[in-house]
Amino acid sequence: MNGYELIMTIQRKMQDPEFARRFNNLTEEFNSVPGMQQEVMRIVQIQDEHSRQKAMDKLPSKVKKLVKEMLKLING
């Protein structure tokens, strides 16, 4: 999914109050880790599962958990 598709998907799903609440909570947690927001958005856009996993392996464990939750939320 490219950046535009990601934004459109998130905007569409934000109509659901439960999705919006969970997304906003995760976003707040990402923002509490300096520099991670941009890295997470880059990882979310990676199409190839192997490449995405390699990028996630480089993240701190707390951020890995947040990325997995964000991917599950967006793709679910």
Q: State both tokens at 66.
A: 């947040």
Q: What is the pLDDT of residues 1-14, one digit of tens each?
A: 677 888 898 999 99
Give the per-residue pLDDT at 31. Answer: 83
Longest dimension (CA), the chain: 33
Q: Where are the domains of the chain?
A: 3-75
Give the per-residue pLDDT at 15. Answer: 93
d(CA 13, CA 57): 28
Averaged pLDDT score across all residues of the chain: 85
